Amino acid sequence: MTPEAAPEALRYLAGFGNECQSEALPNALPEGQNNPRTCPYGLYAEQLSGTAFTAPRAQNRRSWLYRIRPSVTHEPFHPLNFPAETLTADFRHGVITPNQLRWRPFAIPEDSVDFVRGLFTICGAGGADRKDGYAIHVYTASANMADCCLANADGDFLIVPQLGALFVTTEFGRMHVAPGEICVIQRGMRFSVDLLDGRARGYVLEIFASHFQLPDLGPIGSNGLANPRDFLTPTAWYEDRACAYTVVHKLEGQLFSAAQSFSPFNVVAWHGNYTPYKYDLAKFCPVNAVSFDHPDPSIFTVLTAPSPIPGTAVADFVIFPPRWVVAQHTFRPPYYHRNVMSEFMGLIRGVYDAKADGFLPGGASLHSCMTPHGPDTKTFEGATAVEAEQIAHLPKDTLAFMFETYYTPRLTCQAMGAPNIDRNYYQCWVGLKSHFDPSWTPSKAAAAAQSATAGSKVPAGSAVEEAAVLEQQQQSQQRQPNGK
Ligand SMILES: [Fe+2]
C-alpha cells in the first residue's frame, strides 16, 4: 500500500445524507451549473440517480460525477457464470422453515477468491426486479479484486466486516473499513474491495427497496444512537490508468462482465447527496433501561430501510454493543419471544449475552417470523441466579448485530445444506426445565433469595419485607369476598 493510501491518510466528509462536494483537483467542479458545454479539465459530466427524478425532495438522491471518461465506455456485457451457485436475488423457490437455524463460522477459502466470488446468499425475500425486499449474504475472501469492480443495480449493500479490514475503492473515493465498522455502497456505485489482512469474512445486508436512513428518535430526543456527524463519506480520488479492466454488473442477482481499457475510478470531482459512506460502530451511543425491564432491541437500531408501513422496516440494522447493564428486578438477557419480524444475527467478536455457547464470531443465526427463541439453558440459569442482580458491564470485546426484517425470509438450498449448519441448535433450549411451584408465595421467594445471599445484611424496605407486606395484603383480600 502506498503511503497516500494508508488508512490514516484517507480523508472523509462528516455527516449523514448531506449535500456534499469534493474535488481532487482545484476548480474541477463546474461553477454554478451541473452540465456545462465543456467541463473543467476536459472532464465528462455524468449523473448517478439513486431515486426517481421525480421523488419528493426529502427523499431525492443523486450525485454528479466529473470523470476522465464516462462509464458508458466499455465493451458489451456478457453473463458471468462463476458465482451463479452462490449468489441470488430470486427467492421464489427458496426454502421455508419455522425452525431455529444457526451456522458455525463460515470457512475462509483456501484458494484465491475475491469479494464478489466469495458472496454467498443465505436468505431473502421479495425481488430485485420489483425493487422490493432484501437479501442477506455472507462473504469470505482471500484475494483482492484486481482490476475488477462491481456495480450492484439491485440495491444497496450494507457491509459488516467480521474478519479482516477492507480497503474499498469507489467512484467517490476510498474508504478503510475494519471489523467494528460498516460501510454502505448504494445502488449502482462501482466499487472494488482489497483485503488489508490477506483474508476477510463478513456479512452483507442488501436492500432492494428504499435506501438506509437514520431511525427516528421519538422521546429520546435529538441526540443519541447513531449520531449523523459520525457517518463518513470519502473524498474525491482518481487514477488515470490505462489497463485491461473488468466491470462486473449485478442485475436481478445475475452477474455480467464487460471489459474496458481504463480504471473506472477516474472521477476527479463530484457533488451530490448520493454517496457511499462508512460508520464506526464504537461511536454508537446506546440508550437503555436505568431502572427495570429489558427494552425491545429496536433501541439499538443503527440504520433502517423503511417499508411503506409506518414504523415497519424492510430491514433494520441493529447492534448489541458493549454497555453497562443496571436494570434491577429484571431478567437482563434478551427475553424469550416470538416476533412478527424475522431476525438474522451475526457476531463480529466476543460472546453474545443470550448464548453462552455455540454462537461464534463469523457464524450466524436466523429466527423467522413467529419462530420462538431466546436465551439458551446455561444463560437462563445464570441470569436468574441472585448474583445476576449486580451492576455489570457486558464484555467490552463483544459486538453482535441483527438484520431484522418484516418480510419473512426464504433460504437458499446452499445455506440449508452448508457444511457448517448447526443441526443440533434446538438442543440449546432442551434443558430448560420447569421451575413451576404451585405453592409459591412472595415471602417464600424472598426468603429463598435471602438464603441465597446468606451473610449479607437485608436492609429495611428489602425485597423480603416488601414481599411479606404484599403477601399479607393478598391474604387479606382473599379473606374478603370481592376484595372488600
Ligand atoms: Fe429475537
Tens digits of per-residue pLDDT, 306-325?
A: 999 999 999 999 999 999 99
And the C-alpha cell for 271?
457533488
Give the confidence band of 395 by pLDDT, cuts at 50, 70, 90: confident
Classify residue 436: in a domain, yes or no: no
Residue 225 and residue 307 in one domain: no
Classify residue 124: in a domain, yes or no: yes
- pLDDT of the residue at 5: 74
Residue 363 and residue 269 in one domain: no
54: left (phi over 0), alpha (psi -120 to 50) or beta: alpha
Q: Please determine, for residue 479, whether its predicted confidence score (pLDDT) is greater than 60.
A: no
Q: What is the 99 CA–ligand 1 centroid distance (Å)?
A: 14
Mean of pLDDT values over 56-69: 97
pLDDT 10s digits, 183-193: 999 999 999 99
Provide, for the chain, the percentages of residues in helix, strand and coil under a 3-state DSSP scheme, each rounded to the nearest 5.
15, 35, 50
Q: What is the 335 CA–ligand 1 centroid distance (Å)?
A: 8
Q: Strand 191-195 to strand 254-262: parallel, antiparallel, or no bridges (unpaired)?
A: unpaired
Question: What one-letter code names the amino acid at 439?
Answer: S
Minimal CA–CA distance to 360: which of 422, 310, 300, 309?
A: 422
Q: What is the 365 CA–ligand 1 centroid distance (Å)?
A: 10
Residue 225 and residue 328 in one domain: no
Active-site residue list: 294
Residue 338 and residue 414 in one domain: yes
And the C-alpha cell for 55?
421523488
Q: What is the 350 CA–ligand 1 centroid distance (Å)?
A: 19
Residue 183 and residue 116 in one domain: yes
Which residue ranges are tagged as binding site for homogentisate?
A: 352, 373
- DSSP states of 335-361 as a string? PPB--SSEEEEEEEES--TT-SSS--T
Classify residue 31: in a domain, yes or no: yes
Classify residue 84: in a domain, yes or no: yes
Higher pLDDT, 139 or 468: 139
Return d(Cα 280, Cα 415) in angstroms, integer: 29
Q: Give me the sheet containing 44-49, strands edge to edge.
A: 20-23, 267-272, 62-67, 44-49
Question: What one-letter code names the amino acid at 13?
Answer: L
Scan for cell 437462563, then name that residue: 380
The DSSP element (H or E) to which 16 belongs, if any, is none
Return d(Cα 385, Cα 331) in angstroms, integer: 10
Return d(Cα 295, Cα 331) in angstroms, integer: 11
Residue 466 and residue 373 in one domain: no
Asked if 367 and 433 count as a contact pair (C-beta separation under 8 A), the reply is no
Classify residue 437: in a domain, yes or no: no
Q: What is the 153 CA–ligand 1 centroid distance (Å)?
A: 31
Give the confidence band of 199 by pLDDT, cuts at 50, 70, 90: very high
Return d(Cα 461, Cα 408) in angstroms, integer: 48
Last residue of some domain: 281, 305, 320?
281
Return d(Cα 333, Cα 29) in angstroms, integer: 53
Classify residue 12: in a domain, yes or no: yes
Scan for cell 450492484, then name that residue: 152
Asked if 234 and 65 count as a contact pair (C-beta separation under 8 A), the reply is no
Residue 419 and residue 449 in one domain: no
pTM over 0.85: yes
Residue 468 and residue 358 in one domain: no
Classify residue 435: in a domain, yes or no: no
Which residue ranges are tagged as binding site?
A: 337, 343, 352, 373
Distances (CA, A) of 266 to 71, 166, 187, 254: 9, 20, 19, 26
Q: What is the 17 CA–ligand 1 centroid distance (Å)?
A: 30
pLDDT 10s digits, 162-176: 999 999 999 999 999
Asked if 169 and 202 count as a contact pair (C-beta separation under 8 A), the reply is no
And the C-alpha cell for 191?
466499487
Q: Please determine, for residue 251, whether its predicted confidence score (pLDDT) is greater than 50.
A: yes
- pLDDT of the residue at 137: 98
Q: What is the 296 CA–ligand 1 centroid distance (Å)?
A: 9
- pLDDT of the residue at 223: 97
Q: Please determine, for residue 79, whether its predicted confidence score (pLDDT) is greater than 60.
A: yes
**What are the residues facing 254 on neighbouring strands?**
251
Q: What is the mean pLDDT of the chain?
A: 91
Q: What is the 212 CA–ligand 1 centroid distance (Å)?
A: 21
Last residue of some domain: 260, 281, 302?
281
Cβ neighbour number for residue 178 with a 10 Å cutoff: 15
Return d(Cα 283, Cα 224) in angstroms, integer: 10
Residue 177 and residue 312 in one domain: no
Q: What is the 119 CA–ligand 1 centroid distance (Å)?
A: 25
What's the number of domains the chain is made of?
3
Q: Please determine, for residue 477, whether its predicted confidence score (pLDDT) is greater than 70.
A: no
Classify residue 316: in a domain, yes or no: yes
CATH number of the domain where residue 262 is located: 2.60.120.10
- pLDDT of the residue at 462: 44
Return d(Cα 173, Cα 9) in angstroms, integer: 12
Q: What is the 374 CA–ligand 1 centroid distance (Å)?
A: 6
Residue 472: which domain range?
Answer: 442-483
Number of residues that make up the chain: 484
Which residue ranges are tagged as binding site for Fe cation?
A: 337, 343, 373
Asked if 155 and 314 count as a contact pair (C-beta separation under 8 A), the reply is no
Question: What one-letter code names the amino acid at 95?
Answer: V
**What are the residues facing 173 on neighbouring strands?**
170
Asked if 61 and 51 count as a contact pair (C-beta separation under 8 A), the reply is yes
Residue 94 and residue 12 in one domain: yes
Last residue of some domain: 281, 298, 314?
281
Mean of pLDDT values over 411-417: 96
Residue 137 and residue 264 in one domain: yes
Residue 315 and residue 381 in one domain: yes
